[in-house]
Amino acid sequence: MATFSRSASALRSSAIRDLMSLASQPDIISFAGGMPANELFPVEEVEELFRGLSDREKRSAFQYGPTQGLPSLLESLAERLRRKGLQMEGNRILITTGSQQALNLLARAFVDPGDRVLTERPCFIGAIAAFRAAGAEVRSIPLDAEGIDIETLEKALGEGPKPKFLYVTPYFHNPAGILYGERRKRELIDTLRGSGIPLIEDDAYGDLFFHPEDRDRLIPMQALPHDGVEICYTGSFSKILGPGLRLGWLLAPEAIYGKCELIKQSSDACSPSFTQVLADAAIRSGMMEGYVERVQSEYRDRARAMTDALRRHLPDYVEWSEPRGGFYIWLTLPEGADAARVLEKAIEAGTVFVTGSTFDPEGVRRNTMRLSYCNNTPEEIERGIPLIAEAIRECCG
């Protein structure tokens, strides 16, 4: 019998992946996956972009490319990031095969087995998986409505071995849905300043904001004064163009970039040239910005449909906040409740969601749940939310 490595033996399928086969059944209303809606993809626009490419560009799309990314996309993406205020001097962009690869590269660059890393609680399941696959001990810091709890973070920094990095998702957090406050981001930078602990700032959803007045809160920490703190900024085309492109990026200080590029060379050599050519054309033509504005409006309508349904159907003891962007709403049940029991009842009734323990690095907090509205029509939301509300009442009274 084959003997697997310790890291491979420790891997486990995520609850979200396990739910996908169930969620794909036609009689199930799924609020589980954080997938963009199929009917919103810019199929015609992308076809037009490809037809408009020169023969040379079309041929290059079928060829291997540089490990760091196609020069044309690196140039257009850099300009797009500059417009968001991101600092390019002393930093370099690495195109990755989805932002998940960026997290894997950073984990491999920093973590030796047994090293400690810090995350938020709750935390993106893909990040937990990437860090643990590298052998990290993951310690989580709780969130409140404004972001990571600074007092708990300071305490964690003063205890035990020095963490290799801190990972945060400040912009329409997956799964908590929150948007960090401006003051909290500056407090976070001040807390890390001079500690030698890099900050990984994951911004997969920041372009999907619902309210123009939030623009100042969307300025990345990498764009703020952060001397004394190394910031690795990750992003993705998955939510603003399509996850099937399998394209993300890592903007990192030169030394960190160099290590990650070497690791990527041994991993996949290069990300897909075909989709890099398309992403570059989408940026340069202005198509992507127009598409983002269109889906912002659509996801805002879906979020509104879900919040309206939650107000009408949920028991008063369930805590949640109205989303200001992104894909998710986080529900907190009374202390001692078990969202897994609610999920069982919900599945019997014909709907699914993801339990919050999935996003808990310690896996012990069981009274929370994530609902996603991005892949549902308002009509599906209106049919599905009462089923979940009834399942909560059956389990919690």
pLDDT at 10 over 70: no
**CA–CA dist 354, 344 (Å, integer):** 11
pLDDT tens digits for 347-395? 999 999 999 999 999 988 899 999 999 999 999 999 999 999 999 999 9
Residues 305 and 361 in one domain: yes
What pLDDT does residue 18 have?
64
**Is position 58 within any domain?**
no
Going from the C-alpha of 185 to that of each of 166, 220, 271, 273, 313, the distances in angstroms are 13, 9, 32, 35, 35
Mean pLDDT, residues 81-89: 96
- Total domains present in the chain: 2
What pLDDT does residue 19 have?
66
**Is position 336 within any domain?**
yes
Residues 69 and 119 in one domain: yes
- Domain boundary among the residues 229, 252, 287 is at 287
Going from the C-alpha of 396 to that of each of 62, 176, 228, the distances in angstroms are 55, 21, 48
What pLDDT does residue 173 have?
98
Report the CATH number that the domain containing residue 165 is assigned in CATH: 3.40.640.10
pLDDT at 12 over 80: no
- Domain boundary among the residues 255, 287, 319 is at 287
What pLDDT does residue 331 have?
98
What is the domain extent for residue 337? 6-42+292-396
pLDDT band of residue 22 (cuts 50, 70, 90) is low
Q: Is the pLDDT higher at 13 or at 161?
A: 161
What pLDDT does residue 3 have?
79
Residues 122 and 247 in one domain: yes
pLDDT at 277 over 90: yes
Residues 274 and 180 in one domain: yes
Residues 207 and 308 in one domain: no
What pLDDT does residue 6 have?
75
Residues 261 and 367 in one domain: no
Own/partner long-range contacts of 143-149 (Cβ < 8 Å, ≥24 apart): 143/173, 143/176, 143/178, 145/178, 145/321, 146/178, 146/180, 146/181, 146/183, 146/184, 147/178, 147/180, 147/181, 147/184, 147/185, 147/188, 148/120, 148/180, 148/184, 148/188
Residues 348 and 259 in one domain: no
**Is position 341 within any domain?**
yes
pLDDT at 17 over 70: no
Transcribe 353-364 into DSSP letters: -EEGGGG-TT--
What pTM did the predictor assign? 0.95
Residues 104 and 246 in one domain: yes
